Amino acid sequence: MALAKGRYEIGMAQDAGHVREAQRLRWLCFVGARRGESDPESLDADDYDQRCRHVLIRETASGRLVACFRMLTLSGGAEIGESYSARYYNLSRLREFDGKMAEIGRFCIHPEWRDPDILRLAWGELSRHVEREGIEMLFGCSSFMGTDTHGYEDTFAMLRERHLAPKRWLPRVKAPRVFRFARALRLRKPDPRAAMAAMPPLLRSYLAMGGWVSDHAVVDDHLDTLHVFTGLEIRAIPPARARLLRAAGA
């Protein structure tokens, strides 16, 4: 059954046309909007699209696609090398994780839409997926727009100070271009207000529930982003937050 909240409804892509809609929105969010381009044929597509389930959020009245993301479910850490994130991070430590995992990728909201209900609805669907599949960890790459670290110093300093992954799971460097913020900003005291203002909304949600990040950001020239590996162990979610998620997914 489709989940709805306010003006929006969420559901799974049912055919290639739906996936193409998601690919189109992803291109617009990650590339087109920042370049001022609007080519209706341009798509963000890769080989993982065939392996993932695609989640679509639409405005109910118009049917317009306003947000999307994809999910790849793994039986456990032994399969972590099959994830998209493993192309950019050395995730060998996570091979020891013994519960089911879900990688959340390509999350984006149409640049013309700013309604917080969209993100709430996405988390409601994620909570249903966690319950339905018995997921014990959510993970993925959380993206900052652009590849210039200027303007993100306080955010990265806060990540270093408060939200680094536990050592047993900490990803190591694999990508050719990275920003080692935990090392570069070790002496910087973050301004909390500035840090939160520059924090991507999805990452902010992960951290509020007890999530953690890698100690470095990958410079992704293809999507013109900086991204950090992000993990959230389901059992670490504070009880009050867990109740809100279950309510959002009801």
Q: Rounded to an integer, what distance in angstroms lies between the CA atom of residue 71 and that of residue 105?
A: 6
Question: Is residue 167 predicted with pLDDT exceeding 80?
Answer: yes
* Confidence (pTM): 0.94
Q: What is the mean pLDDT of residues 94-122?
A: 94
**With pLDDT > 90 as the criterion, what percentage of the chain qualifies?**
82
Residue 6 pLDDT grade (very low, low, confident, very high; cuts 50, 70, 90): confident
**Long-range pairs of 185-193 with CB within 8 A, sequence gap ≥ 24:** 185/153, 185/156, 185/157, 185/160, 186/160, 188/153, 188/154, 188/157, 189/157, 190/154, 190/155, 190/157, 190/158, 190/161, 191/154, 192/154, 192/158
Residue-level pLDDT at 248: 65
Ranked by mean pLDDT, which of 28-42, 79-93, 231-245 comes out on top?
A: 79-93
Residue 36 is predicted with a pLDDT of 58
Q: Once rounded to an integer, what is the mean pLDDT over residues 122-129?
A: 92
Decide if pLDDT at 1 tops 60. Answer: no
DSSP code per residue over 74-138: ESSGGGGGGSSGGGTEE-GGGGG--SEEEEEEEEEE-TT---HHHHHHHHHHHHHHHHHHTEEEE
Predicted pLDDT of residue 183? 97
Say how far apart CA 184 and CA 166 lie, in whole Å: 19
Place of tokens 């290639």: 16
Q: Are 178 and 217 in contact (CB under 8 A)?
A: yes
Q: Give the range among 40-44, 92-96, 109-113, 124-128 with minimum mean pLDDT.
A: 40-44
pLDDT bracket for residue 37 (50, 70, 90)? low
At 238 the pLDDT is: 87
Predicted confidence at residue 164, as pLDDT, reads 98
Rounded alpha-carbon distances, angstroms, from residue 204 to 158, 174, 197, 207: 12, 25, 10, 5
Digit-coded pLDDT (tens) for 134-143:
999 999 999 9
Residue linked to tokens 């652009």: 146
Cα–Cα distance measured from residue 119 to residue 107, given in angstroms and rounded to the nearest whole number: 10
| 159: phi then psi, degrees, rounded to nearest 5 | -60, -45
Average pLDDT over residues 153-172: 98
Position 33 pLDDT exceeds 70: no
184-222: pLDDT as tens digits? 999 999 999 999 999 999 999 999 999 999 999 999 998
Q: Tell me what pLDDT residue 239 has.
A: 86
DSSP 8-state assignment for residue 31:
I
Return the exposure string of 35-45: e unless at least 16 CB atoms fall within 10 Å of the residue's CB, then b: eeeeeeeebbe
Paired tokens of 60: 């109910």
Identify the structural domains of the chain with CATH numbers, from first to last: 3-248 (3.40.630.30)
Q: Which of 24-33, 98-107, 165-174, 191-200 has the lowest mean pLDDT?
A: 24-33
Q: What is the pLDDT of residue 76?
A: 97
